[in-house]
């Protein structure tokens, strides 16, 4: 455990501690403080000796063995899971805490399938794959949501750094530090450079409003056990599509203890609000009133670290059509439809989002919504349309959300 990273890297034969790349000292400063932690580390580039594959290790002045850096990381981080990926299928292996898989980092579909669509998120990502900066940057943007808050992403061996990227919206919106560092090395003044990104600990929050145990058949054709399973699907869809988000479940009904403890395990916070006077009173009047009260209770608990707040109705789930990039981080995001019955536009309230900077405005809108629902017997979809200013709203064409109507069991998609 006392062995330094430079010694470990030399022992395993990666070039990260060589005359050409003296990264190990820099990495020690970066990683020593978290060395003992339980981490997931992903390195792109296992180290092929196939001369026909670009960025191969052919020409290394010692007998290089593919997977050298992965073995070094495994020894250096005693409690980490080490993942490696490469375009060369012949060098994939599994050993100890190391697992490897195929990916072609020039192909967004391959990246989506092999990295984005898996449930694993990472604390450290190191791109030592194809050394072509536009490819590395495109990949960083595609898999950045898989980096945990506080996580570190490094692109190694940068030859032609495009500093314009540091002014892109992506950098501004993904709060964190983006530093291009030229590591001093008299023997290599060309590509001994790294881009180091530290993702801020800011997180998004998904509030799930839920009523699992409702009287059957008046309000739902589904039995409590079905509704519970549907809610678990809601939660797992959020973990999959918004992997770094906190999940708050606001539950209005009374639940069996085993269900409750399962939900507590899967969510960051479960708020049981069936006994809250406001909810009790309003829920008796109509479902919409109960929903507003549940939201009012949940937003009292929003922590400082939250950036964007999503609201999702329990038993609906984010489908593979959900695209986080369709949801602007600086505006309300609603799907707006025309309701013929009311001859007016309404906001779809199954799923929507807004930035925390609009929280005070949202609280006001919820208060006004209650008033309008009372005074004009409106439902929440219409009342929110009336109380949230149109110019603050990004109108989303498709939310990527599926589920079932409780009252008749029909499938629903928006
Ligand atoms: C410099 S080597 C990695 C060395 C290794 N990390 C080490 O330190 O021991 C770069 C690797 O990137 C891989 N590579 C090249 N193009 C790729 C692509 N399009 N997608 C994924 N990997 C690629 C190569 O096969 C090669 O194994």
Give per-residue pLDDT as tens, 362-396.
Answer: 999 999 998 888 888 888 889 999 999 999 999 99
> Span 166-179, mean pLDDT?
85
Which two three-digit tokens encode residue 366?
């919820």
> Span 125-137, mean pLDDT?
97
> Span 334-356, mean pLDDT?
90
- Cα 47 to averaged position of ligand 1 atoms, centre (Å): 5
Within 8 A by CB and 6+ apart from 311, the residues are: 206, 207, 209, 295, 349, 351, 352, 353
- Cα 71 to averaged position of ligand 1 atoms, centre (Å): 15
| Cβ(47) – ligand 1 distance below 6 Å | yes
- Cα 168 to averaged position of ligand 1 atoms, centre (Å): 27
| Cβ(191) – ligand 1 distance below 6 Å | no
Atom of ligand 1 nearest to the CA of 104: 20
Strand 122-127 versus strand 147-155 pairing type: parallel
Which two three-digit tokens encode residue 413?
């998609």
The pLDDT of residue 5 is 96
pLDDT surpasses 80 at 397: yes
Domain with CATH 3.90.550.10 in the chain: 203-413
Q: Which stretches does DSSP call E strand in 132-172?
A: 147-155
Domain with CATH 3.40.50.150 in the chain: 5-199
| Cβ(356) – ligand 1 distance below 6 Å | no
Looking at the DSSP bridge assignments, the partners of residue 266 are none
Pocket test for ligand 1, best of 18, 54, 72, 86 (most atoms within 8 A of CB): 86
Does the pTM surpass 0.85? The reply is no
- Cα 271 to averaged position of ligand 1 atoms, centre (Å): 47
pLDDT surpasses 50 at 110: yes
Query: CATH for 203-413?
Result: 3.90.550.10
CATH number (2.40.50.140, 3.30.70.20, 3.90.850.10, 3.40.50.150) of 5-199 reads 3.40.50.150
> Span 39-54, mean pLDDT?
98
Task: Give the span between the Cα atoms of 195 and 158, in whole angstroms.
Answer: 8
pLDDT surpasses 90 at 93: yes
Give per-residue pLDDT as tens, 232-279.
Answer: 999 999 999 998 899 999 998 889 999 999 999 999 999 998 766 665
């Amino acid at each position: 455990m006392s062995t330094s990273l430079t010694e470990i890297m030399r022992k395993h034969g990666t070039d990260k501690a060589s005359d050409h790349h003296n990264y190990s000292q820099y990495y020690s400063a970066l990683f020593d403080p978290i060395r003992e932690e339980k981490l997931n580390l992903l390195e792109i580039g296992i180290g092929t000796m196939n001369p026909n594959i670009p960025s191969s290790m052919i020409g290394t002045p010692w007998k290089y063995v593919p997977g050298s850096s992965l073995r070094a990381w495994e020894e250096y981080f005693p409690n980490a899971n080490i993942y490696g990926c490469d375009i060369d299928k012949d060098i994939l292996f599994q050993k100890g805490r190391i697992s490897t898989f195929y990916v072609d980092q020039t192909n967004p579909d391959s990246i989506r399938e092999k990295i984005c669509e898996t449930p694993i998120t990472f604390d450290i990502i190191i791109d030592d794959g194809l050394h072509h900066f536009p490819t590395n940057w495109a990949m960083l943007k595609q898999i950045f949501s898989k980096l945990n808050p506080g996580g570190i992403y490094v692109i190694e061996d940068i030859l032609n750094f495009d500093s314009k990227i540091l002014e892109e919206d992506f950098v501004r919106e993904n709060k964190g530090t983006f530093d291009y560092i030229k590591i001093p090395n008299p023997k290599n003044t060309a590509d001994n450079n790294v881009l180091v990104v530290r993702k801020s600990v800011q997180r998004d929050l998904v509030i799930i409003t839920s009523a699992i145990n409702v009287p059957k058949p008046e309000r739902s054709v589904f039995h409590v056990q079905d509704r519970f399973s549907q809610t678990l699907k809601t939660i797992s869809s959020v973990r999959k599509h918004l992997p770094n988000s906190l999940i708050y479940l606001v539950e209005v009904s009374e639940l069996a203890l085993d269900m409750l403890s399962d939900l507590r395990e899967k969510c960051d916070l479960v708020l049981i609000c069936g006994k809250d006077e406001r909810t009790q009173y309003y829920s008796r009047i109509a479902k919409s009133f109960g929903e507003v009260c549940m939201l009012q209770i949940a937003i009292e608990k929003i922590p400082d670290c939250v950036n964007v707040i999503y609201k999702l109705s329990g038993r609906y789930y984010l489908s593979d059509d959900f695209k986080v990039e369709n949801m602007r981080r600086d505006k309300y995001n609603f799907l707006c439809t025309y309701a013929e019955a009311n001859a007016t536009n309404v906001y779809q309230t199954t799923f929507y989002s807004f930035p925390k900077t609009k929280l005070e405005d949202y609280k006001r809108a919820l208060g006004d919504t209650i008033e309008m629902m009372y005074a004009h017997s409106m439902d929440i979809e219409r009342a929110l349309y009336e109380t949230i200013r149109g110019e603050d709203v990004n109108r989303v064409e498709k939310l990527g959300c599926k589920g079932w109507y409780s009252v008749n069991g029909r499938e629903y998609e928006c």
